[in-house]
Structure 1
């Protein structure tokens, strides 16, 4: 299948979250039918968590055999395990703690009170990826990778004009002096993200419009990281009307 980039516009944040949740449940059923298992990479942020809450609220939630699904994260704030800033904690509260997912199927990044050294923590997560990778590979096949987008165009914890967005060898990078607090983070690299079959970017609000417009206009991914997000099979931007004001009409797909 050739790579496709599509933009699906929704009237507001609530409709956006509900639509992505419904699509996620339907696609996960298809993936499990086709492949027998699934690897999902989660994101944090307001919309990322809103989608997980909508998944949890859906009557279709319990139609899925969650024992066959593995959950990962695209990035994480390097803070204590109990911190409310952790993407892992937010995802557990929004969805994962409500699902019959085996504990070994949930793969969070190390926390700062588990492994104090940031570089060591990056190495540990890289080893976790490799442990679940097909023979000869460094990381699993990701079926769906969720990404948020910052007003500056950053994805995961890969920021504009920083070394992380340029990294091509490592699977995980340690991020220091992040322009967005907290300063220390861990992130998958662009080659790992782009090896995903599907990248689903979920963004809302007028503050995201410029980054989205630049990405779709072909900006440099080192300057606007979201411009470099491209799944192997499909890349979908799920957006609300406020974020879509700079999107060319020719790129907007019919509503899902």
Structure 2
């Protein structure tokens, strides 16, 4: 995907927008999602969700009166970009956060929600989730021009990780699997995560970043020679960075 360096199809060259605060980020993201869904007419729309406090505001907004009745929940399929290997009831669970912020407040069909399975055998769990994705996609092979996801939401860690693509983990070298797992050196819990190939098969990747502690890493991730996990995100579609003023250094 070398041509992507010139087209804004990767993390280093993607479009950047700085907004006043987390509420402005949530409103902007909600409008983007609604617009993208409307563009696809009556087709199935697949989103990979991320954890974090700023995405939580987005999910609460989508589940509220302003947006919930405007979204065609019957054709939305919600997936997860990563998950900690903890019970769904655990406070660290991304699925729990999304359930409390969004799912409990909308009429989305049960079959349209795809949490990552929590098993002691994390290899099996990753394989099952990949099979789920392949079933919904309709193929075991990712095809150019037929994105797996319409939107992938991502965060940015102070160590440069995104989803659960952490520095110095073997998952960064995965070229074939759509889903894998890792045990970060400096973060608790084993993690399941979408891999680079799965994220690359998307129409739009959106990094959502907030807080002044992200100023330095955001700038470093976008440097030409950066080797952070986030720096290596590419997609056949577009990459956008949506920051609050604190993260943007303003």
Q: Identify whether the pair has TM-score above 0.5, normalized to the shorter chain.
A: yes
Partner of 1:254: none
Aligned length: 238
Aligned-pair Cα RMSD in Å? 2.0
Spell out, residue by residue over 1:157-200, the C-alpha distance to the aligned partner (whole angstroms, 9 max, x if none).
0012221122112211121244222x211011011111111001
Give the gaps of 5 or more residues in structure 1.
247-256
Are residue 242 (structure 1) and residue 226 (structure 2) matched? no
Matches within 5 A, 1:1-256: 3-4=8-9, 5-31=14-40, 33=41, 36-57=43-64, 59-111=66-118, 115-137=119-141, 141-181=148-188, 183-220=189-226, 223-245=227-249
Displacement after TM superposition at 1:136 (Å): 4.8
Question: What's the CA shift string for 1:197-242, capped at 9, x where partnerless?
Answer: 100110101111122111222243xx41111223322110000111
Partner of 1:249: none
- d(CA) in 1 for partners of 2:140 and 2:36? 27
Q: Does the residue aligned with 1:84 lie in a helix, a strand or coil?
A: coil
Q: Given the superposition, is the C-alpha separation of residues 239 and 58 from structure 1 closer, same or farther in structure 2, using an over 3 Å criterion?
A: farther
Q: 1-side partners of 2:85 and 2:140: how far apart?
A: 29
- C-alpha change, 1:211 and 1:58, in structure 2 (3 Å) is farther
**Kept after mapping to 1: 8 A contact 2:83/2:191:** yes
Compute the TM-score of the two structures, normalised by the length of structure 2.
0.88
